[in-house]
């Protein structure tokens, strides 16, 4: 069960009440359930074919047997690990569930690989016993370059260890009907293929096959999770007036506050379900960051005293029943006049309800903001630039050069602001910040716990130095999440791109079973960083690039120390 405070329109501020009254007058909730594209646009493009999430929980529940059968089969075969290869909407919900629930007795562990950094790929390969690992390849389009590159690599590894004739039984595909991956899975005799409802966009796919197949594989009570979602869906039905409808209320709050400048949705989430923040970050950022508008989701940011925050924040406190940690800080924020919305869930299985509730709320917020929450027009710009970089590499044998503006004690800096030391240039760059801006750290480094800690330290220093909201994302993972917002919002981001040196590169096979390789993971990672930087600059964004050595965590801490001083 999920409870929401403020619980009634009388507890809301006047502008949110006005937004709710408009939703009621225009019958927005009912029209959403009727799948009326005019809620968001006169054109049905990327709307009419993106509303399948409204009914997916019931669809999966009705067709649960194939999921349960595969899970039982994998358990009996004594697989120890499931490695999901996917990006963005195909990987975030499974990661949340794996981190929250872990594996049931006798079921394999689930982990996610959504990085093209060769250190991350190599580390995961060394950790796995290929004889006891099932690979789940998840991509809606069937052509996601990162996912297919990982598939080619691990297919080659399995073939080398077990032989080509046994490869297929180690792989499962989740994709849309008719996709390239569906054809690959059939041709190479994958163990199973789950064809998802094609009318569901990636970030709205948590309760579809993309989230529920991995959940079944680790022994979760999938029907219980889906029933929580169905309860939330019932609460969001048009039979419930907008003023009492939790999805409509959340959407009205999110959208109406963003329109008046409180466009930093800051999430404080109970430790037991903390990873939910990563999923909701993508949902909100990619859905609302476009047409010069956007809501920046701020997740995993340590709570500070009220005076640390500007007037651009709305706080969403999502906590498990009985968890009282951080309540004093939340009450202090409320007392200082910061808007706080509290949600309480009974237990972790209410994640199903949270998935649906926030999907519905984000759809409503899109209407309030006057945007289409189901397209992602600016994601393509980084892909186009990356493709151009890779083509240049294939033609010339090297990526386009990016000479440093200066070097400072082993750090290479690329910037168009003044200064010839890191301290001077970084200070000048951050000095361009205005009230209401945010700082986004884009970390093209090997993801690991040490890097997590170093980036958290840098983030805290940036917040204290600027007083602005901050975010951190690993590249290329964030390209499928906050990347749309970065290029589609009002241009109030300052982007700090950190790129490390590759320790040991790995080839990407040209095809499944091919020994030929034209591009490596290191080249792909570098092309993505260069391509995204160029896309940001072409969109008029402010970018500060720091190239560090092989020990990224230590170098990031050094950058934080310079800024702190």
Residues 266 and 307 in one domain: yes
Q: State whether 364 and 484 are in the same domain.
A: no
H/E element holding 212? helix 209-217
208 and 167 belong to one structural domain: yes
Please tell me the predicted confidence (pLDDT) of residue 10.
Answer: 54
Q: What is the pLDDT of residues 58-104, one digit of tens each?
A: 999 999 999 999 999 999 999 999 999 999 999 999 999 999 999 99
Q: How far is CA 416 from CA 229, 404, 406, 424, in A?
A: 49, 10, 11, 12
Determine, yes or no, domain membership for 97.
yes
Residue 27 within any structural domain of the chain: no
Same domain, 210 and 272: no
Domain assignment present for 537: yes
pLDDT at 379: 86
In the 8-state DSSP scheme, what is residue 538?
A: H
pLDDT tens-digit profile, the chain (565 residues): 678 887 555 567 888 999 999 999 999 999 999 999 999 999 999 999 999 999 999 999 999 999 999 999 999 999 999 999 999 999 999 999 999 999 999 999 999 999 999 999 999 999 999 999 999 999 999 999 999 999 999 999 999 998 878 899 999 999 999 999 999 999 999 999 999 999 999 999 999 999 999 999 999 999 999 999 999 999 999 999 998 999 999 999 999 999 999 999 999 999 999 999 999 999 999 999 999 999 999 999 999 999 999 999 999 999 999 999 999 999 999 999 999 999 999 999 999 999 999 999 999 999 999 999 999 998 888 889 999 999 989 899 999 999 999 999 999 999 999 899 999 999 999 999 999 999 999 999 999 999 999 999 999 999 999 999 999 999 999 999 999 999 999 999 999 999 999 989 999 999 999 999 999 999 999 999 999 999 999 999 999 999 999 999 999 999 999 999 8
pLDDT at residue 13, as a whole number: 86
Q: Which domain holds residue 347?
A: 2-14+238-369
Domain boundary among 165, 198, 226: 226
Looking from the CA of 444 toward its CB, the CA atoms found within 13 Å total 29
The residue out of 226, 253, 288 marking a domain boundary is: 226
Number of structural domains found in the chain: 3
Look at residue 135 and tell me if it is in a domain: yes
Q: Which pLDDT score is estimated for 222?
A: 98
Looking at the structure, do residues 308 and 190 belong to the same domain, yes or no? no
Q: Are 480 and 285 in contact (CB under 8 A)?
A: no
Residue 22 lies in a domain: no
* Domain co-membership, 200 together with 324: no
| Closest alpha carbon to 350 in 229, 253, 240 | 229
Q: Do residues 318 and 464 share a domain?
A: no
Query: Which of 226, 249, 269 delimits the end of a domain?
Result: 226
For tokens 């958290």, what's the residue? 456
Do residue 334 and residue 242 come from a single domain?
yes
Return the structure tokens found at 358: 């926030």
Tokens 């007058």 correspond to 25
Specify the CATH number for the domain of residue 529: 3.40.50.10490
Cα separation, 211 vs 48, in Å, equals 22
Which residue in the block uniquely carries the two structure tokens 């054809």?
183
The SS3 assignment for 473 reads strand
| Whether residues 289 and 329 fall in one domain | yes
Position 40 in a domain: no
Half-sphere CA count of 269, side-chain side, radius 13 A: 24
Same domain, 319 and 440: no
467, with CB counted inside 10 A (0-12, 13-18, 19+), is middle
206 and 272 inside one domain: no
Residues 421, 546, single domain; the answer is: yes
Q: Give domain status of residue 47, yes or no.
A: no
Give the model's pLDDT for residue 140. Answer: 97
132 occurs within a structural domain: yes
């Amino acid at each position: 069960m999920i409870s929401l405070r403020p619980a009634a329109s009388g507890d809301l501020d006047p502008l949110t009440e006005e937004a709710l009254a408009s939703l009621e007058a225009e019958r927005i909730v009912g029209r959403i359930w009727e799948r009326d594209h005019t809620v968001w646009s006169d054109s049905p493009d990327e709307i009419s074919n993106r509303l399948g999430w409204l009914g997916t929980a019931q669809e999966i529940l009705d067709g649960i047997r194939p999921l349960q059968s595969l899970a039982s089969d994998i358990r009996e075969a004594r697989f120890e690990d499931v490695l999901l290869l996917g990006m963005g909407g195909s990987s975030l919900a499974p990661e949340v569930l794996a981190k929250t629930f872990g594996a049931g007795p006798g079921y394999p562990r689930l982990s996610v690989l959504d990085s093209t950094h060769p250190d991350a790929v190599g580390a995961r390969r060394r950790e796995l016993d290929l004889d006891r690992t099932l690979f789940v390849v998840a991509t809606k389009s069937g052509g996601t370059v990162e996912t297919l590159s990982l598939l080619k690599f691990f297919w080659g590894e399995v073939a080398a260890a077990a032989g080509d004739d046994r490869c297929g039984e180690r792989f499962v595909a989740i994709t849309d009907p008719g996709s390239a991956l569906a054809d690959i899975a059939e041709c190479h005799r994958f163990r199973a293929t789950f064809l998802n409802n094609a009318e569901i966009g990636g970030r709205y796919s948590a309760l579809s096959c993309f989230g529920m197949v991995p959940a079944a594989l680790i022994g979760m009570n999938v029907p219980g999770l889906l029933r929580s979602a169905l309860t939330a869906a019932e609460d969001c039905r048009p039979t419930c007036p907008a003023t009492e409808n939790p999805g409509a209320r959340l959407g009205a709050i999110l959208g109406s506050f963003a329109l008046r400048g409180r466009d930093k949705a800051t999430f404080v989430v109970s430790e037991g379900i903390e990873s939910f923040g990563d999923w909701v970050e993508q949902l909100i950022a990619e859905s609302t960051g476009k047409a010069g508008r956007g809501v920046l989701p701020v997740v995993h940011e340590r709570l500070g005293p009220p005076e640390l925050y500007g007037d651009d924040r709305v706080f969403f406190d999502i906590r498990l029943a009985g968890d009282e940690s951080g309540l004093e800080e939340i009450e202090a924020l409320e007392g200082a006049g910061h808007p706080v919305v509290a949600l309480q869930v009974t237990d972790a299985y209410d994640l199903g309800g949270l998935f649906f509730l926030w999907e519905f709320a984000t759809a409503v917020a899109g209407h309030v903001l006057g945007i289409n929450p189901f397209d992602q027009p600016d994601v393509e710009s980084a892909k186009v630039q990356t493709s151009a970089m890779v083509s240049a590499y294939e033609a010339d044998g090297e990526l386009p050069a990016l000479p440093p503006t200066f070097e400072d004690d082993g750090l290479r800096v690329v910037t168009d602001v003044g200064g010839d030391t890191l301290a001077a240039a970084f200070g000048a760059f951050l000095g361009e910040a205005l009230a209401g801006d945010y700082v986004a750290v884009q970390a093209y480094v090997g993801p690991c716990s040490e890097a997590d800690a170093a980036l958290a330290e840098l983030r805290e220093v940036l917040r204290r130095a600027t007083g602005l909201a901050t975010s951190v994302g690993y590249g290329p993972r964030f390209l499928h999440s906050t990347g749309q917002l970065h290029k589609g919002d009002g241009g109030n981001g300052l982007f700090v791109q950190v790129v490390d040196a590759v320790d040991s590169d790995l080839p990407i096979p040209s095809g499944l079973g091919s020994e030929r390789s034209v591009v490596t993971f290191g080249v792909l990672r570098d092309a993505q960083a260069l391509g995204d930087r160029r896309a940001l600059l072409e969109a008029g964004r402010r970018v500060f690039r720091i190239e560090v050595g092989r020990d990224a965590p230590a170098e990031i801490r050094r950058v934080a120390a310079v800024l702190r001083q």
